[in-house]
A and B are shown apart, each in its own frame.
Chain A
Amino acid sequence: MNDILLMMVIPFIVACILLVVKNDRARGPISYIGAALIIATSIWVAWNYHGDPQTFEVSGESIDLLMFAIEAILGLVIIYLGIKHKKPIASVLGLVQLVMSVCFEFVFKEGIEVENGLYIDDLSIVMILIIGIIGSLICVYAVGYMRDFQEHHADEKDRRRWFFFLLFVFLSAMYGVVLSNNLVWMFFFWEITTLCSFALIGFTRTEEAVNNSFRQLILNLIGGIAFLAALILLADQEGFLALDRLLATPDALVADWLLVAVMLMALAGIVKSAQMPFHTWLLGAMVAPTPTSALLHSSTMVKAGVFMLLKLSPLLYGNIGGDMVMAVGGLTFLLASMAAISQSNAKRVLAYSTIANLGLIVACAGVGTPEAAWAGVMLMVFHAITKSLLFLCVGTAEHHIGSRNIEDMDGLFARMPKLALIMMLGIAAMFLVPFGMLISKWAALTAFVDTEEAMSVILVACIAFGSAVTGFYWTKWLGKLACVVRDAKDIEDTVRPQEWTVLGSLAALVVIVCLGYPLLSDWLVVPWMDIAFFPEHADLALMETNNLYLLLIMLVALVLIFVPFFGRSKTKEVPNYMSGVNIDDLSYTGSMGAPVNVTLRNWYMEDWFGEDRIRKVGEAVTAVVIVACIVLACGGWLR
């Protein structure tokens, strides 16, 4: 147990050291050592506890009181900041939450003891590995990136200490979320992640950043209030606040009030995982420096949301809560994928793709069968690795070509060959066979069909149309990168070594985890499901092993096919056909004898898939679904 505590505390200690250390040169080694320690402890914990779920007796008035005090102070800070930046809604929500938590602490929570404060199971281990490995790799990347960032913003005050402090605190809080059995503690860490991302998004303190950070805060406060309401309901009605007791409620006994509590917690998860209608906060998060986006999108924050939903998944089987989660997830997948088509900003495309893929995971969680949850966990793992890789790639490209617009990445294959290859690998891993994302999507589709309910029709439609749309926006980006421009200047030398290390290791992880797909499933995911799901619907019809081996063969083939193309060839390289007289590949002599430049642009179909249009539809539909489901559930309870 001590090793788990140590694992949770190390990032916090590193964070505090980094907050104190002013010297930029020292920051690098401290971060590297910290990251190495975090990775080592997380692997150690995973190795020690996998297949061996247990809870730990940790409790104490003092811990509770300390957490409450911190929460109260942070609540006051929110109210103050809301007033200072003229964001009254934030202040009001902060106040509501503060009042609710005071009431909860002194009225409802009285006399409820949770003896087993911490737990660990295989799902937590999956999360620990994601947070520990990917999260700390992003921190390492940030060292090099932030140096460039400071150079680009030389006129501003150096606040990098604060930035690194937040990054590492974030990791600590995430560990807290995935390991707390005491729901009050989980809520505490939940709120810490909200505030950390608030501070990270607003890091640059430009007007846009401040606005976006407040949007994130407001939306997540709604989620936090829902969480708190669920806690009050649990404490008031049944008098327990332990996650394991909540999850041990057999589904036949999901009482009406309990269903409402579960739905409120699911709502908190939906907000955190940036599902429609709350998705705008994640789009706004891009204004922050790239490591922040990478962290928020891949290993932390949004993953806390889907973790919560996957955890609750067994309780969502075949009830209105499940329907709500499924509908929101499925629609978000479809609509966010569509919105991604109209975007040329690489980070925004990635953001929409994150929202869409999280939608798929959320939908999987809502189904409530182990088969679907399996697909959900797998999607989560692959998404974390691939998305962090892509974000960091875009960050590096941005610092070198001076733009995060996909149109400006035209011919990146010639200008930054290594980076383009890694990026292409990342994009391929997002939507092509034989990589993990697609395999998991495939499993998700199977799981949806297997439920054979009315909801499954909607989900099948969402996934069928959503996948087609996904293919479109990824392929056109891939094409831009693949374009070969003759005589392009290689501008790759100045990429910092930390960045290469991290990009290389993440790219390797993408491939390794794909190869280790069956192992990952057998060691971690299946054992978790055997325990987490109630035996009556725990008949596992997972993907045939034959297919998995076939995929491995395909992966090898994909690599081997390169071989004959190495070396010299007699093929003559000639310029393109341009219906006229070429000057080079991108210009020709026009009919008046003057040179005409060719510019090639991708297709965005703004009229059909415009962001605003999609957002309006999505927000309206999903909001109606959520409100209707919760009202129905409350009606059932009150009756």
Chain B
Amino acid sequence: MSCTSKSPWILHYDASSCNGCDIEVLACLTPIYDAERFGVINTGDPKQADIFLITGAVNDQNKEVVRQLYDQMPEPKVVVAVGICACSGGIFRDCYNILGGADKVIPVDVYVPGCAARPESIIDGIVKGVAVLEEKRAKMEGEKRCSRSRGSRS
């Protein structure tokens, strides 16, 4: 395991959740679950985050916000949709203003279903996300190496 997987920093965004999942996300940091023992930090700054944890369905008002937060995170990055609303829109999916799950706006890597998602499954989702993160980092480094060797050949 490389260092990327040992220190996944999380940006948590509440798209339009009922706050059920948000409470559970915070519960992950409490003594019982203590996500920090895996190096997880719940940062509020997209520029320093690796995993974008999104709860709630995306609506017309905040789709730009979600997109921009995602754009502001530096590569490699992973999106984890927490709760059924973030996965598919959940019970809100037919509302006039709801676009649907987070994947309508940004590419989602891990889906964590549940209403609300339990802390165990959220941590599980993060761990899955970390694996994807690791893959992406390896790919990024491979690309870098490729471009470097291409550069030296020319």
Contacts and interface: CB of A to CB of B under 8 A. Distances in A.
B65 A581 contact: yes
A577 B45 contact: yes
A581 B68 contact: yes
Interface size bracket, B side: under 10
Interface string B59-84: 00100110010011000000000000
Contacts of B72: 574-575, 577
Contacts of A575: 72
Interface in A552-585: 574-575, 577, 580-582
A455 to B, nearest CB: 50
A494 interface: no
A591 B61 contact: yes
A589 interface: yes
B61 A577 contact: no
A580 B64 CA distance: 8
A582 B68 contact: yes
B64 A589 contact: yes
Contacts of A574: 71-72
Interface residues of A, number: 8
Contacts, number: 15
A577 B68 CA distance: 9
Contacts of B61: 591
A580 B65 contact: yes
Contacts of B45: 577
A589 B60 CA distance: 13
A88 B95 CA distance: 81
B17 to A, nearest CB: 17
A309 to B, nearest CB: 53
Contacts of A582: 68
B64 A581 contact: yes
Interface string B25-41: 00000000000000000
Contacts of A580: 65, 68
A577 B65 CA distance: 11
Contacts of B47: 577
A582 B68 CA distance: 8
A575 B47 CA distance: 10
A575 B46 CA distance: 12
A143 B54 CA distance: 63
Secondary structure call for the B interface: helix
Interface in B87-132: none
A591 B61 CA distance: 8
A372 B72 CA distance: 55
Interface centre among A580, A581, A582, A591 (most CB of B within 10 A): A581
A589 B61 CA distance: 11
A358 B47 CA distance: 46
Nearest to A575: B72
Nearest to A581: B64
Interface string A585-598: 00001010000000
Nearest to A572: B74
A575 B72 CA distance: 8
A172 to B, nearest CB: 60
A596 to B, nearest CB: 14
Contacts of A589: 64
Contacts of A577: 45-47, 72
A598 to B, nearest CB: 15
Nearest to B63: A581
Nearest to B144: A570
A582 B47 CA distance: 14
Nearest to A578: B68
Nearest to B68: A581
A581 B68 CA distance: 6
Contacts of B64: 581, 589
Nearest to B44: A579
Interface string A528-544: 00000000000000000
Most chain A beta carbons < 10 A, residue from B46, B47, B71, B72: B72
A581 B45 CA distance: 14
A580 B13 CA distance: 11
A539 to B, nearest CB: 57
A229 B14 CA distance: 78
Contacts of B46: 577
B15 to A, nearest CB: 13
Interface string B121-152: 00000000000000000000000000000000
Contacts of B65: 580-581
B53 to A, nearest CB: 17
A577 B46 CA distance: 8
B91 to A, nearest CB: 24
Nearest to A591: B61
A589 B62 CA distance: 11
Nearest to B47: A577
A591 B16 CA distance: 14
> Which of A574, A577, A580 has the largest number of chain B CB atoms within 10 A?
A577
A589 B64 CA distance: 10
Given A577-B45, A582-B68, 5 more contacts: A575-B72, A577-B72, A580-B65, A581-B65, A581-B68
15 contacts: A574-B71, A574-B72, A575-B72, A577-B45, A577-B46, A577-B47, A577-B72, A580-B65, A580-B68, A581-B64, A581-B65, A581-B68, A582-B68, A589-B64, A591-B61
Interface of B: 45-47, 61, 64-65, 68, 71-72
Closest 9 CB pairs of A and B: A581-B64, A581-B68, A581-B65, A577-B47, A577-B72, A577-B46, A580-B65, A577-B45, A574-B72
